[in-house]
Amino acid sequence: MSYKNPSLAELVAELRFEIGVLTHQKLFEIAGAVQTLGQSQVEFPNPGGVNLTVAPDGSIRPSGPKIFCWNVERTRLVQLQEGIVAVNHVGNYQGWDGFFDLFKSVHEAVLQVIPGVTPESIALNAVDRLLVPKSGYRLGKYLNCGGPFIPRELENCETACDLTMGRGILNVDSRNSVIVISSRINEANVMIQFNSVLQELTRSNFPVQEHIEQLHQSSNQRFEGLITDETRAFMGGEK
């Protein structure tokens, strides 16, 4: 389903490559190609500092430079660093088609610089936020407690809440799935945030762009399993 007022606040598609593939020179060449896609505002966060990255074995080690390529409106961001290429959407969500077009173009820019290169893993991270009235609030009014993901015991929760669920280890099970849910209450409103992460090892017979489309479908199915009809109405209903 698609909604008139979607709750999606941020969407990140991430490609992770074998260490040593994205050298400093290659990162800057990719950044140059990405700039031609409308991502013309280039930043170097933490210049002169030490950037850290998580290696496939879970260890943390120093990495090379980070390059941020924003569009002028600062709603689309391409992040480049050693071993990682990520495409972000921030703010008012304009739909999957535009985001996928940018992802596809960025992936093709990587292939232009490093022909034939294949990422080791691919991930899709969706962050949704709902700001709802405090009056009459309970978690089960907006999230599907007792459904496929959230325990029924939380249905009548009227206080702040944190819930983290994970399944699978990427390098053991070929996939990792995480859901993080939080709610915070002030005098008038409740902010509910749920973060869904799907990460899988790539497969030689499954093209990257088809793979991210499949993750998007899985993410949508998960979203529908997390929310209630009250939330669907709150988002304005289907377009």
What does the mean pLDDT of the chain come to?
91
The pair phi, psi for residue 68, each rounded to 5°, is: -105, 125
Cβ atoms of residues 179 and 198 within 8 Å: no
Token readout for 39 is 């991502």
Question: How would residue 54 be classed by pLDDT, with cut points 50, 70 and 90?
Answer: low
Cβ atoms of residues 3 and 231 within 8 Å: no
| Start-end of H helices in the chain | 24-35, 96-113, 139-142, 170-173, 208-226, 229-234
Token readout for 175 is 């996939």
Reported as a single tens digit per residue, the pLDDT across 59-100 is: 555 556 789 999 999 999 999 998 999 999 998 888 899 999
Reported as a single tens digit per residue, the pLDDT across 155-206 is: 999 999 999 999 999 999 999 999 999 999 999 999 999 999 999 999 888 9
Every domain of the chain and the residues it spans = 18-118, 126-239
**SS3 label, residue 123:** strand
Residue reference for tokens 């969500």: 93
